[in-house]
Amino acid sequence: MKTPLSSSSSPASSSSLSSSLRKTRLSPYLFALLSFIVFVSILYGEDLVCIFGQQRQLRPTSPRPGPRTGELTRPSISSSNVEKTDSETRGARPAGGTIYEAAVDGVLRSSEQRKSGASGGEPVIPFAIGRGEEGCDVFSGRWVRDESARPSYEESECPYIQPQLTCQEHGRPDKDYRNWRWQPHSCSLPRFNATLMLETLRGKRMMYVGDSLNRGQYVSMICLLHSLIPEGSKSMETFDSLTVFTAKDYNATIEFYWAPFLLESNSDNAVIHRVTDRFVRKGSINKHGRHWKGVDILVFNTYLWWMSGVTVKILKGSFEDEVKDVVVMSTDDAYRMGMKSLVRWVQKNMDPKKTRVFFTSMSPTHGNSEEWGGEPGDNCYNQTTPIKDPNYWGSDSRKSIMQVISEVFSKSKVAITFLNITQLSNYRKDAHTMIYKKQWSPLTPEQLANPVSYADCVHWCLPGLQDTWNELLFAKLFYP
């Protein structure tokens, strides 16, 4: 079907959403989802108006020395470098654990890869220095209060956190959200070793690619590492969609590349990406992908931007075409198309003997407190404790999308390490930035009178939850 793409498109209001809803006769569940999406789109409007200094031309990609392959000598996680063990839960089944029992080892491999692994010895995994504990799903566990071990750094000690995420600076009254440590049910996580991480990155590039949630994880990684680097030998610069943190003495960079859909879209401008009518261009991954080439460790995410409705508009021609060739796809099919493009790009451009690719699953939001037994009309605002119900799963974390990821990645010829952070983050209704962040426009008296109405229940305070995502990345990088 051919649809002209008008520039003065009507804003995605809840009324237009509900009328399209009536047309398609969808369930109340989707209705709740849609109201959440309206809320998300409000939040994304102010996303990235901030930060990281001046804009410049995108840096030409410079050739880098070839990556070294990590030795596979150290046998397993030694007791000296593991987090405190929670002895009473060691080896225990997750409470009520039938729903989430699929203990994926994190690396989703194709059946051929598994076969060759079995017959031809262990495949060499770049950067691995040991193996994770047999049969342990590090993503299945619980939050343990541990004031002695968390937070890993202070907010005031990390100057790289964007004002969108500095909650203490913006008046958050409680601090407990920083004191939780993730404890897998049947093993312990290796302790995050910043020295090892930095030494490993010597002469290398690590890059996070995706949306503002991935940027939060990126900044968390820099906060976890930067104190080892003296002033004057580290810097952070932004070049259009690319932000580069450089550790000069290590000849290493940790980078973030803004591409909320991974594919080309009309939301790609790193500063002005508030668009009411979103289009994603099919088969366009190389547009951004050329900036990811030569990277040694890639960490992708993409999710929330696909969720602006029950369908996604896919552009088949180019954005320059006068009459746009647009097809409307279900969100699952559109997301599958995006995931397939990603896998093809990885197969074509990444050397599985020298590089690693990670994919972070969907980051949950907490926009409706009724889902965890709260009062109607409330959301993450004023939440100070994690959700205790081990089976809690917010409706905005679409299981069908999880299924799509699993299907597409399991057919990949190269291993993509899956960071399945959705469940553990779902418990953390207390970890969002809420109202404690830089507000980009003055608040109205109505808003001030009702903080729930402008609370950000999408992004996460730093230090906080996203440090754990990087601890899991660390675990899977060195002990896959």
Ligand X SMILES: *[C@@H]1O[C@H](CO)[C@@H](O)[C@H](O)[C@H]1NC(C)=O
Binding site for ligand X (CB under 6 A): 62, 64-65, 80-81, 100, 102, 104, 139-140, 193, 195-196, 199, 203, 251, 382, 402, 405-406, 418, 420, 423
Q: Which of 212, 267, 363, 369 is flagged as catalytic?
A: 212
318 as an active site residue: the answer is no
Residue 59 neighbours by CB under 8 Å, 6+ apart: 239, 242, 244
456 as an active site residue: the answer is yes
Question: Nearest approach, Cβ of 302 to ligand X (angstroms)?
Answer: 15
Question: Nearest approach, Cβ of 116 to ligand X (angstroms)?
Answer: 22
Q: Token pair of 401, please?
A: 């999308």
Q: CA-to-CA distance for 349 and 347, rounded, in angstroms?
A: 6
Residue 43 neighbours by CB under 8 Å, 6+ apart: 456, 458, 459
Q: Please, what sign has the CA dihedral across residues 159, 423, 453, 376?
A: negative
Q: CA-to-CA distance for 43 and 439, rounded, in angstroms?
A: 11
Query: In this complex, which beta carbon is closest to ligand X, that of residue 328 or of residue 448?
Result: 448
Question: Nearest approach, Cβ of 401 to ligand X (angstroms)?
Answer: 10
Question: Nearest approach, Cβ of 187 to ligand X (angstroms)?
Answer: 15
Q: CA-to-CA distance for 42 and 35, rounded, in angstroms?
A: 11
Q: CA-to-CA distance for 34 and 28, rounded, in angstroms?
A: 10
Q: CA-to-CA distance for 472 and 467, rounded, in angstroms?
A: 9
Query: In this complex, which beta carbon is closest to ligand X, that of residue 270 or of residue 343?
Result: 343
Q: Which of 185, 430, 459, 467 is flagged as catalytic?
A: 459
Q: Which residue shows structure tokens 């060759």?
A: 116
How far are the Cα atoms of 353, 355, 415 from residue 347, in angstroms, in the given order? 12, 12, 9
Q: Which of 268, 396, 430, 456 is flagged as catalytic?
A: 456
Count of other CB atoms within 10 angstroms of residue 2:
10
Cis, bond preceding 173 (omega within 30 deg of 0)? no
Question: Nearest approach, Cβ of 231 to ligand X (angstroms)?
Answer: 21
**Cα atoms in the Cβ-side hemisphere of radius 13 Å centred on 224:** 28
459 as an active site residue: the answer is yes
How far are the Cα atoms of 35, 119, 187 from residue 97, in angstroms, in the given order? 30, 33, 16
Active centre residues (catalytic): 212, 456, 459
